[in-house]
Amino acid sequence: MSGSGEHSIVLSPVGDVDGVIFKPIRREIHRIFGYRTRVIPLLDDVGFALDTSRHQYHSTPILNELARLAPSSALKVLGLTTVDLFIPILTYVYGEAQLAGRACILSTHRLQDGLPATGTQKAFLSRVVKEAIHELGHTFDLRHCRDHRCLMSYCRSEKDVDHKSGELCRYCRVLLEDAMKRQDRNPATSQPVFGSS
Amino acid sequence: MGRNRILIVDDELIIRESLAGWLERDGHEVQTAKSGEQCLEMLKDTRFDILLVDIKMEGISGLEVLKKVKENDPDLAVVMITAYGSISTAIEAMKNGASDYLLKPFDPNELGVLIDRITESRAQALENLYLKEQYKESTRFESMIGQSEAMRQVFELIKDVAPMNSTVLITGQTGTGKGLAAKAIHTNSPRSQGPFVMVNCGAIPEHLMESELFGHQRGAFTDAKETKRGRLELAHGGTLFLDEIGEIGMRMQIDLLRVLEDRVFYRVGGTQPIEADFRVIAATNRDLTAAIAQGAFREDLFYRLNVISFKMPALCERKEDIPLLAEHFLRRFAQETNKFIDQISREAMDEMMLYEWPGNVRELENAIERAVVVGKGRKILPEHLPILRREGPAAPANVTLKEVERAHILRILRQNAWNITRSSQILGIDRSTLYSKIKSYHIDRAS
């Protein structure tokens, strides 16, 4: 699978993010979506999304800002942050994405919970990569998959993230190919909001 | 916990997808609707166990969805999702039949616990329904239904008389189920393997009755092209049920009396005596003793028939059986007509309980059949039972206003079993006015 040469996917650190996560994410984006990646900071401060009563950040306004600030050459923008994200109905989310849209965001905050005593870094990076691809998958119009081993499966806990593989199931692969063809034909698709854990 | 079919109704995609993903992880089958309109449309074709409905939506609101859903399917569990600030709305939803509500934000684990709790209570409700059905079975005897004391006595009596060979006379108004009682006696008798032959004495013209009962030989009369066995012969080894015996003519009464005495008869035009072994059960809605007094019924035949007798109670004497009977007929006709009607509204049931049912169980059966045919929703409503609303006969032209008022008050009091509060409400006057009118019109229970 390979994406169009003109476009790239932008990885955007939001706030203070450990640079170690970028390399494996960029490698997997290229392997799965076929696009080049660039790292461009777009947002320093996400105080506008802070809910002081919850001490958490509402992911939807951050997404909207990322989509607004992304350079026109960016096919998609993936925000990466360490702050704890939420949507009003749920106590927290790992990330949120615009379905068939342009922006998505992933928080590493909860992905650090319950890591094994040995191989901590490897396990953490594995989780971050899987969820980053998952959120990007939504921007390519992929919905949650019922196959618990598929990257697009919905994860309720870090255990679920650990359990799923680093691959899309064969159905999601076909759907991704279709979406990418559509994307190449018409890059400016509509952007309904979509979120996920 | 069991797997449920759940419908999530929310106008926000993010919520639909998040909750669907979460619940699918628990093994539930989840579908989503983006509006109340879409939800109601989906409910026409698909049956769900649980609905999760956001209260605040564009178009049809969550509360309206709840009301409409509950009208059609009171058993469907509906969980409302609401923001922290609108708890009063959630409470209103609970009053309207919602199973529970979730306050945003919530930990989806809470949702899992809630779904488990609903599943458990649904299982309990189903078990109760099963037990209720079992109880209903115990209120049946053959095809007769009733849990009233009057019907229980009838069931006991039938059990006692069935094993005997004695003639039975069943009395009671039209439509009380005399035929069913006769069939129940036959079914529980040692003759149950034999035929149950019914003769409706009121429906057969007298000139045909002789041939119908005794049969005829070929050539016995102009139309007798073949030899035909009569009902008495056909009942050999079984039971002969003579329905509406009070309608039988004098000549036939004499013939019947002879047959009942020696069980030997001749076909019309026949010379060969025929012996038949049958048990006789007769039924009538007429007062036979009065008919004897008028010379319309033979006393000797009456005593021959009246070896064991019992009266089937009128439906107005066992009103507590109306819900049971109504539900039984509803199930039967809904099945026969293949319609999804399985409830009777409280108002319709109230009207049925107030009505006197002069046509007894048969009238109730017909009323329910009609209601099932004309009903559109899942529930029988008062407007589907117009028979209960028919006006009484018009008052004669020469009665005074006071006489009309007295008659109307008396009618309302009787319909409401002399409940003064309810009667005064219906009449639109207060209790003390009603009392003074009862006194001034000299109305009492014997009126």
The fraction of chain B above a pLDDT of 90, given in percent, is: 29
> Could you tell me the CATH number of the domain that includes residue B359?
1.10.8.60
Q: How many residues does chain B have?
A: 447
Decide: pTM greater than 0.90. no
> What are B48-75's pLDDT values in tens digits?
889 999 988 888 999 999 999 888 787 7
pLDDT at residue A188, as a whole number? 52
Counting one residue from A and one from B, how many pairs have CB atoms under 8 Å apart? 65
Is the pLDDT score of A80 beyond 80?
A: yes
> What are B320-361's pLDDT values in tens digits?
999 999 998 998 888 888 777 888 988 889 889 888 898 899
What is the spatial distance between Cα B127 and Cα B124, in angstroms, rounded to a whole number? 5
> B20 and B91 in one domain?
yes
Confidence of residue B189 (pLDDT cuts 50, 70, 90): very high
DSSP type of residue B144: E
Give the other-Cβ count within 10 Å of B138's Cβ: 8
Higher-confidence residue: B112 or B242?
A: B242
Q: Quick check: A90 and B105 CB within 8 A?
A: yes
Q: Is residue B373 part of a domain?
A: yes
Q: Is residue B244 part of a domain?
A: yes
Give the other-Cβ count within 10 Å of B145's Cβ: 19
Please tell me if residue B21 touches chain A, with a CB cutoff of 8 Å: yes
Phi-psi region of B175 (alpha: psi -120 to 50; beta: other; left: phi over 0): left
Q: Could you tell me which of A44, A97, A35 has the C-alpha nearest to residue A69? A: A44
Please tell me if residue A147 touches chain B, with a CB cutoff of 8 Å: no
Q: Quick check: A89 and B81 CB within 8 A?
A: yes
Q: What is the CA radius of gyration of chain B?
A: 31
Is the pLDDT score of A11 beyond 70?
A: yes
> B175 and B244 in one domain?
yes
Q: Closest to B14 (Cβ–Cβ): which among A87, A146, A156?
A: A87
pLDDT at residue A193, as a whole number? 39
What's the distance, Cα to Cα, between the start and end of chain A in Å? 26
Is the pLDDT score of B300 beyond 70?
A: yes
pLDDT at residue A63, as a whole number? 93
Question: At what angle are helices B360-374 and B346-354 packed, to 10 degrees?
Answer: 150
SS3 track for B355-402 = CCCCCHHHHHHHHHHHHHHHCCCCEECHHHCHHHHCCCCCCCCCCCHH
* DSSP string of A95-160, one letter each residue: EEEETTSSEEEEE-TGGGTT--SSSHHHHHHHHHHHHHHHHHHHHTT---BS-TTSTTB--SSHHH
> B321 and B301 in one domain?
no
Tell me the mean pLDDT in the region B357-370: 90
> B414 and B368 in one domain?
no
> B118 and B90 in one domain?
yes
CA distances from B249 to A8, B68, B114, B279, B284 (A): 104, 60, 72, 21, 14
What is the spatial distance between Cα B13 and Cα A193, in angstroms, rounded to a whole number? 7
> B377 and B281 in one domain?
no
Confidence of residue B138 (pLDDT cuts 50, 70, 90): low
Q: Could you tell me which of A173, A169, A177 has the C-alpha nearest to residue A147? A: A169
Q: Is residue B271 part of a domain?
A: yes
**Which of B220-224, B352-356, B378-382, B387-391 bottoms out in mean pLDDT, i.e. has the lowest?**
B387-391
Q: How many domains does chain B have?
A: 4
> B109 and B76 in one domain?
yes
- The residue annotated as part of the active site, out of A135, A158, A167, A177, is A135
pLDDT at residue B268, as a whole number? 87
| Cis peptide bond N-terminal to B105, omega within 30 | yes
> What are B156-179's pLDDT values in tens digits?
999 999 999 999 999 999 899 999
> Could you tell me the CATH number of the domain that includes residue B415?
1.10.10.60
Asked whether the beta carbons of B241 and B288 are under 8 A apart, the reply is no
pLDDT at residue A5, as a whole number? 46
Confidence of residue A160 (pLDDT cuts 50, 70, 90): very high
Contacts of B20 in chain A (CB under 8 A): 144, 154
Q: Is A177 a catalytic residue?
A: no
> B178 and B304 in one domain?
yes
Distance from CA of B82 to the nearest CA of A (A): 9
Average pLDDT, rounded, for chain B: 85
> What are B94-108's pLDDT values in tens digits?
888 899 988 877 877
Chain-centre distance for alpha carbon B3: 36
> B329 and B292 in one domain?
no
Residue of A nearest to B13 (CA): A194
> What are B141-153's pLDDT values in tens digits?
667 888 889 999 9
The fraction of chain B above a pLDDT of 70, given in percent, is: 92
Confidence of residue B271 (pLDDT cuts 50, 70, 90): confident
Q: Is residue B446 part of a domain?
A: no
> Could you tell me the CATH number of the domain that includes residue B108?
3.40.50.2300
**Which of A124-133, A163-172, B85-94 bottoms out in mean pLDDT, i.e. has the lowest?**
B85-94
**Which of A99-103, B132-136, B253-257, B394-398 bottoms out in mean pLDDT, i.e. has the lowest?**
B394-398
Higher-confidence residue: A7 or B195?
A: B195
> B151 and B58 in one domain?
no
Contacts of B25 in chain A (CB under 8 A): 148, 154, 156, 160
Does the structural domain A8-185 have CATH classification 2.60.40.10? no
Contacts of B9 in chain A (CB under 8 A): none
Q: Write out the H or E segment, with its range, that includes residue B159.
A: helix B149-161
Please tell me if residue B14 touches chain A, with a CB cutoff of 8 Å: yes
Q: Is residue B206 part of a domain?
A: yes
> Could you tell me the CATH number of the domain that includes residue B304?
3.40.50.300
Tell me the mean pLDDT in the region B380-399: 66
Q: Is residue B91 part of a domain?
A: yes
Is the pLDDT score of A77 beyond 50?
A: yes
> What are B226-240's pLDDT values in tens digits?
788 888 888 888 999
Domain ranges of chain A: 8-185
> B99 and B212 in one domain?
no
Residue of A nearest to B30 (CA): A146
B416: containing domain: 401-440
Q: Helix, strand, or coil here: B173? A: coil
Q: Is residue B396 part of a domain?
A: no
pLDDT at residue B142, as a whole number? 67
pLDDT at residue B295, as a whole number? 85
Q: Is residue B73 part of a domain?
A: yes
In this predicted complex, what is the ipTM? 0.75
Please tell me if residue B346 touches chain A, with a CB cutoff of 8 Å: no
Q: Quick check: B17 and A196 CB within 8 A?
A: yes
What is the spatial distance between Cα B119 and Cα B79, in angstroms, rounded to a whole number? 12
> B194 and B163 in one domain?
yes
Of the residues B313, B331, B350, which one is the last residue of a structural domain? B313
pLDDT at residue B135, as a whole number? 62
